[in-house]
């Protein structure tokens, strides 16, 4: 636990309140600006501005998360082993985000192909070929037998 | 330890001499068992929430359009105006405040100040209850007024430019006689009556303020894109939006609710002197405090994913 005096601890709480509140207000103001609610005709909904906006929002949120974990939850004053055993597993999520967003993106890009596949009609295999199946010609080019 | 004393302890379980028992080693990480286990519970809970939020992202990426949060979350109690994101900002502040009062309760616990602990915990509980009430309002508006459900999402965005049509197929006109057009990516809310779509509400693009325009009927004609020239019914937005919203904010709200229940129990225990008697610096307050901050932490990301991006 921290070796701070009671007054120092109270000051930290006040600092936390101001910091989290200020970041939240900045986030919302930037969001309203980016989505075109503050200045008529100005928005960052496409291209580079949009990426910058998203990066900014993720950055602010990450800082809020860091502050809550390290100062409100006292992670800054815990032993390194505890810190590592909590934070290191969380880095697995980086890969989860990359992998699943890529998956979702590819799913979206191949929406028409998926619909086409869903409409394929499958016919039972002919007697001489018990393992294969036919896709009725004309529905798709893919065929296995 | 002699053999006779082992037999003795074995025979009469109720009368074990405490001085002969192992006191236990040093706690790992110089933190109590309860605190370490609370941390690991929170790690597992963080993975659950991360799974949900990543699913939201993956599904959102897989859809050609997605509802715009500043259009969806724009209602405010007792106000008819369109106030994008203001109410949810209020909810965020409520959680930040209750996190701050929780830190104060933990600090007073370290000083063995029972009155301080109970006072700050009471404020924390009030914050949690206010948040739950706000969420109830938000859900009620979405379900009862805007007709969102887990399988239906009347919030959509146009995929191309076009014009709204009257029932007879002619182009609708604004009051000033100009055609009632819409453009790509513009948000709309399908109005429903008795379970059927009857019209569309959207931002009036000609107005500088947040005024909403209303169109009776659901027929539209695209003027650009792959469907240029075709007449269509205005489409519902991605279904997954409603399911994800209610499931994820509901799961978070359930955490807040459980937190309020536990905080209340622990506050009553503290007021009854239970933790003062333990003389361990009100460690129980620290443990529920970890959980409560985690609820705030999750909200940071729910806020980011659902409302900001």
Q: What is the dihedral of CA B126, A75, A92, B52, to 10 degrees?
A: 0
* B112 Cα distance to chain centroid: 34
Distance CA B222, CA B7 (A): 90
Closest partner CB to B84 (pick from A32, A85, A97): A32
Residue of B nearest to A85 (CA): B40
Instruction: Put residue A31 in one of left, alpha, beta given phi > 0 → left and psi -120 to 50 → alpha.
Output: alpha
Q: Does B96 contact A31 at a Cβ distance shorter than 8 Å?
A: no
Task: Report DSSP state, residue B171.
Answer: B
CB pair distance less than 8 Å for B301 and A97: no
Q: In terms of residues, how long is chain B? A: 309
CA–CA dist B158, B216 (Å, integer): 17
Cα(A120)–Cα(B36) distance, rounded to whole angstroms? 54
Mean pLDDT within B27-32: 82
Helix (H, G, I), strand (E, B) or coil at B239: coil
Q: Is A32 on the interface with B (CB under 8 A)?
A: yes
Q: Is B30 within 8 Å of chain A by CB? A: yes
Average pLDDT over residues B170-193: 86
* pLDDT tens figures, B265-285: 999 999 999 998 888 888 999
Q: What is the pLDDT of residues A112-125, one digit of tens each?
A: 888 888 887 777 66
Region for residue A138 given its phi and psi (left: phi exceeds 0; alpha: psi -120 to 50; beta: otherwise): left
Give the chain A residue whose CA is nearest to the CA of B41.
A86
Determine the pLDDT at residue A136: 59
The pLDDT score that the predictor gives to residue A92 is 93
Assembly ipTM: 0.85
Query: What pLDDT score does B216 carry?
Result: 86
Q: What pLDDT sits at residue B255?
A: 97
DSSP A3-23: ---HHHHHHHHHHHHHHHHHH
Angle at B209 between CA B206 and CA B210, to 5 degrees: 100
Interface contact B64, partner A, CB < 8 A: yes
Instruction: Put residue B24 in one of left, alpha, beta given phi > 0 → left and psi -120 to 50 → alpha.
Output: left
Contact between B235 and B222 (Cβ < 8 Å)? no
Q: Are B87 and B138 in contact (CB under 8 A)?
A: yes
Burial grade of B234 (CB within 10 A; 0-12, 13-18, 19 or more): buried
Q: Is B275 exposed, middle or buried (0-12, 13-18, 19+ CB in 10 A)?
A: buried
Distance CA B134, CA B94 (A): 10
Residue B228 at interface with chain A, using a CB cutoff of 8 Å: no
Pick from B141, B171, B169: nearest CA to B249: B141
Alpha helices in chain A (DSSP H): 6-34, 47-67, 80-90, 92-109, 111-118
**Is 60 exceeded by the pLDDT of residue B8?**
no
**Among A72, A96, A101, beta carbon nearest to B61:** A101
Instruction: Please report the residues numbered 145 through 184 in chain B whose beta carbons come closer than 8 angstroms to any beta carbon of chain A.
Output: none
Residue B150's closest CA among B57, B248, B63, B69?
B248
Cβ–Cβ contact A101 with B under 8 A: yes
Q: How far is A31 from chain B (nearest CA, A)?
A: 6
DSSP run (H or E) holding B168: none
Q: Which residues of A touch B61 (CB under 8 A)?
A: 101, 104-105, 107-108
Total residues belonging to chain A = 145
Q: Residue A130: what pLDDT?
A: 61
**Predicted pLDDT of residue B292:** 97
pLDDT given for residue A121 in this prediction: 75
Q: Which of A31, A57, A86 sits opposite B39 (nearest CB)?
A: A86
Which residues on adjacent β-strands are paired with residue B76? B79
pLDDT level of residue A144 (50, 70, 90 thresholds):
very low
Q: How confident is the model at residue B254 (pLDDT cuts 50, 70, 90)?
A: very high
In angstroms, the separation between the Cα of residue A134 and the nearest Cα of chain B is 30
Angle between the N-to-C axes of helices A80-90 and B33-62, in degrees from 0 to 180, rounded to the nearest 10: 20
Q: Which of A82-86, A133-137, B22-26 has the lowest mean pLDDT?
A: A133-137
In chain B, which ranges are continuous DSSP H helix? 3-11, 33-62, 69-72, 86-110, 114-140, 240-271, 274-278, 283-302
pLDDT digits (tens, 9 = 90+) for A7-65: 888 998 999 999 999 999 999 999 999 888 888 777 787 788 899 999 999 999 999 99
- Please state, in angstroms and rounded to a whole number, the distance separating the CA atoms of residues A31 and B60: 19
Chain B interface, mutation test: which of A73, A97, A104, A106, most B Cβ atoms within 10 Å?
A: A73
From chain A, the residues in CB contact with B208 under 8 A are 40
Return phi, psi of residue B164, to 5°: -80, 145
For B221-236, what is the mean pLDDT?
88
Q: CB-CB: which of B93, B293, B309 is closest to A24?
A: B93
The closest alpha carbon to B113, from B285, B289, B292, belongs to B285
């Amino acid at each position: 636990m921290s070796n701070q005096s009671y007054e120092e601890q109270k000051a930290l709480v006040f600092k936390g309140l101001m910091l989290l509140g200020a970041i939240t207000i900045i986030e919302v103001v930037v969001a309203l600006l980016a989505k075109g609610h503050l200045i008529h005709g100005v928005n960052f909904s496409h291209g580079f501005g949009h990426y910058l906006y998203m990066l900014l929002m993720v950055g602010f949120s990450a800082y809020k998360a860091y502050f809550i974990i390290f100062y409100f939850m006292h992670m800054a004053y815990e032993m390194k082993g505890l810190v590592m055993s909590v934070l290191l597993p969380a880095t697995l999520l980086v890969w989860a985000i990359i992998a699943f967003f890529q998956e979702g993106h590819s799913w979206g890009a191949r929406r028409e192909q998926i619909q086409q596949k869903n409409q394929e009609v499958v016919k039972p295999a002919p007697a001489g070929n018990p393992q294969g199946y036919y896709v009725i010609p004309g529905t798709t080019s893919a065929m296995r037998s | 330890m002699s053999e006779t004393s082992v037999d003795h302890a074995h025979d009469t379980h109720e009368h074990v001499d405490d001085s002969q028992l192992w006191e236990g080693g040093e706690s790992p990480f110089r933190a109590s068992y309860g605190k370490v286990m609370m941390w690991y519970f929170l790690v597992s809970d963080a993975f659950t929430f991360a799974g949900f939020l990543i699913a939201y992202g993956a599904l959102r990426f897989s859809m050609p359009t997605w509802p715009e949060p500043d259009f969806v979350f724009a209602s405010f109690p007792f106000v008819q105006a369109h106030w994008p994101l203001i109410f949810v900002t209020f909810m965020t502040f409520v959680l930040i405040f209750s996190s701050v009062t929780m830190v104060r309760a933990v600090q007073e616990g370290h000083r063995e100040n029972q009155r301080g602990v109970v006072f700050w915990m009471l404020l924390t509980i009030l914050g949690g209850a206010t948040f739950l009430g706000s969420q109830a309002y938000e859900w009620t508006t979405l379900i009862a007024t805007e007709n969102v459900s887990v399988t239906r999402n009347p919030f959509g965005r146009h995929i191309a430019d076009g014009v709204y049509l009257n029932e007879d197929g002619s182009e609708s006109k604004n009051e000033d006689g100009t055609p009632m057009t819409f453009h790509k990516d513009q948000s709309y809310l399908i109005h429903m009556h008795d379970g059927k779509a009857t019209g569309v509400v959207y931002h009036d693009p000609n107005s500088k303020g947040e005024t909403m325009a209303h169109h009776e009927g659901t027929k539209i004609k695209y003027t650009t894109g792959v469907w240029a020239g075709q007449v269509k019914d205005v489409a519902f937005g991605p279904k997954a939006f409603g399911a994800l919203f209610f499931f994820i904010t509901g799961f978070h709200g359930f955490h807040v609710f459980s937190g309020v229940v536990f905080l209340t129990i622990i506050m009553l225990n503290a007021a009854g002197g239970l933790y003062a008697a333990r003389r361990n610096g009100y460690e129980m307050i620290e443990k529920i405090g970890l959980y409560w901050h985690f609820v705030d932490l999750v909200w940071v990301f729910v806020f980011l994913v659902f409302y900001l991006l």
